[in-house]
Amino acid sequence: MEILFITGLSGAGKSRAADICEDLGYYCVDNLPPALLGRFAALCQSGQGRFERVALGMDVRSLEDPRELEQAIRELDGMDCQVRILYLEAETATLLRRYKESRRPHPLGRPGESIRQAIERERTFLSPLRDRADFIIHTDAAPLNALRARICQCLQRQERRFTVNVLSFGYNRGLPPEADLVFDVRCLPNPFYEPDLQHLTGLDGPVADFVFRNGNAQALLTKLTELMELLLPLYESDRTELTVAVGCTGGRHRSVAMAQALAEELKRRGAAVTVAHRELEQ
């Protein structure tokens, strides 16, 4: 079993690092007391493979003395656990700016003491862990996507690929709450009013042909594809997936045909895409 300790200076990005590790398949727990680490590891080992990779957030809130963690690591080594430490740090000026922006107190702050003094005391307190760390990441100028890439490099794991989830829906059943972007295609001709097409769906060729035959749907598809090509790199910088919802009145004809076509266009351009049709699945 692999156990990764995520530690470092408060404000250096440990919470973000934990989110990234969770995306990489780690089971994440924050601030588990060192005295419980042995029992926690034994519980994970009895989980029949469910917890092969565990990431544990560890900072000054759970450590009275860094040597506590050293003792716990020795115990874990005796349990055949692969233990590694990821340490995040930043310059004092960077941390001061982040605390000013977040307006949160420093966990080592004392009455009458400046945040700078608390930061320097924490830096000294954690220096034994920094010396023991397998990986040290400086986060002064690293945006989230750069931090993700650096962690993947350290852990030698392939980052989960950014995925676009294309979802068709019907407005008569409400907007899908999971949608990040919503496109309305009720402006297109409605196959519902064609007796031969009413019982079919946008997955059927005759319905798709009807929707796209007058050119307006194709022009809309072209513009939507161009828009997605612009937006996807922007969204990809700070998330792992994006849900794009395409809606019509009933969610069975126009939206289905357009969602399928948009998904195919994005796939042709190299995107990782899933497609689902809410009203067809109910």
Q: Choose one of 155, 175, 200: the last residue of a domain.
A: 155
Residue ranges making up the domain that contains 10: 2-155
CATH number at residue 13: 3.40.50.300
Q: Which residue has the tokens 């392939």?
A: 158
Q: Residue 95 in contact with residue 12, Cβ under 8 Å?
A: yes
Per the DSSP assignment, residues forming a β-bridge with 166 are 244, 275
Assess whether 230 and 197 both reside in one domain.
Answer: yes
What's the number of CA atoms in the CB half-sphere (13 Å) around residue 206?
10
Assess whether 174 and 146 both reside in one domain.
Answer: no
For every residue of 220-253, DSSP letters joined together read HHHHHHHHHHHHHHHHHTT-SEEEEEEEESSSSS
Q: Choose one of 103, 128, 155: the last residue of a domain.
A: 155
Assess whether 148 and 197 both reside in one domain.
Answer: no
Assess whether 151 and 167 both reside in one domain.
Answer: no
Model pLDDT, residue 49: 66
Q: Choose one of 132, 155, 178: the last residue of a domain.
A: 155
Assess whether 39 and 114 both reside in one domain.
Answer: yes
Model pLDDT, residue 142: 63
| pLDDT tens digits in sequence order for the chain, 282 residues long | 889 999 999 999 899 999 989 988 899 998 888 888 888 888 888 876 678 889 999 888 777 777 777 888 888 888 888 889 999 998 999 899 988 888 888 888 888 889 999 999 999 998 988 998 999 999 886 666 678 888 888 887 655 678 899 999 999 999 999 999 999 999 999 999 999 999 999 999 999 999 999 889 999 999 999 999 999 988 887 677 899 999 999 999 999 999 999 999 999 999 999 999 999 876
User: Which residues, at least 6 apart from 120, have a Cβ–Cβ distance to it below 8 Å?
Assistant: 92
Tokens of 93: 């000026």
Assess whether 43 and 148 both reside in one domain.
Answer: yes
How many structural domains comprise the chain? 2
Burial of 30 (0-12, 13-18, 19+ CB in 10 A): middle
pLDDT one-digit tens code per residue, 136-162? 999 886 666 678 888 888 887 655 678
Assess whether 46 and 105 both reside in one domain.
Answer: yes
Assess whether 13 and 129 both reside in one domain.
Answer: yes
Is the pTM higher than 0.75? The answer reads: no
